[in-house]
């Protein structure tokens, strides 16, 4: 929205400001020890907020700000994000979960996600109960939304899934 181009690289997050590429780091409150294999997801929502999956979590940068903020989300390797018409941001991680996220994630939601990610393929009985707005699907790769509001999930191993009204998952 501000004319910058953002990219994940092998050495971290970079930004083209219209004149040159700049490394994004401490001055932007962005971690320095970012492994490229830790995420590939970057997404700009309808409000101009930049979302970045990094080091098993997601950070966000509000339009006009120069400081990334933590969400508290715990995820595996974040691979894709999408926004529904109601403003809900969805995150797919490579550990078989697609979940709704926000700028403020509850401690319970973070604990659930952390437990699930550490036990891919099944949810152990010692994990807290699942919260709303979570879709389990084998190895999600991309999230897309169509003009009717359906959330499409492509996978590496199980084909394509469609959730016709993802907002109906709210509240169980």
CB atoms within 10 A of CB 38: 17
Listed residue (163, 134, 129, 130) closest to 149, CA to CA: 163
Residue 7 contacts residue 42 (beta carbons within 8 Å): yes
Residue 165 contacts residue 152 (beta carbons within 8 Å): no
Q: State the chain's mean pLDDT as an integer.
A: 81
pLDDT tens for residues 2-30?
788 999 877 778 999 899 999 898 899 98
Residue 91 or 117, more confident: 91
Residue 86 or 107, more confident: 86
């Amino acid at each position: 929205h501000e004319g910058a181009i953002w990219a994940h690289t092998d050495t971290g997050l970079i930004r083209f400001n219209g004149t040159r590429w700049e490394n994004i780091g401490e001055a932007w409150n962005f971690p320095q020890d970012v492994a490229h294999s830790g995420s590939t997801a970057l997404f700009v929502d309808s409000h101009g907020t930049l979302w970045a999956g990094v080091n098993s979590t997601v950070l966000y940068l509000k339009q006009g700000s120069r400081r990334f903020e933590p969400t508290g989300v715990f995820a595996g390797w974040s691979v894709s994000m999408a926004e529904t018409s109601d403003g809900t941001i969805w995150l797919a991680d490579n550990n078989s979960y697609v979940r709704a996220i926000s700028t403020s994630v509850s401690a319970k939601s973070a604990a659930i996600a952390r437990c699930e990610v550490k036990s891919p393929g099944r949810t152990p009985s010692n994990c807290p109960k699942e919260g709303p707005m979570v879709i389990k699907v084998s190895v999600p790769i991309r999230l897309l939304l169509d003009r009717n509001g359906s959330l499409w999930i492509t996978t590496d191993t199980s084909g394509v899934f469609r959730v016709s009204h993802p907002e109906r998952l709210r509240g169980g």
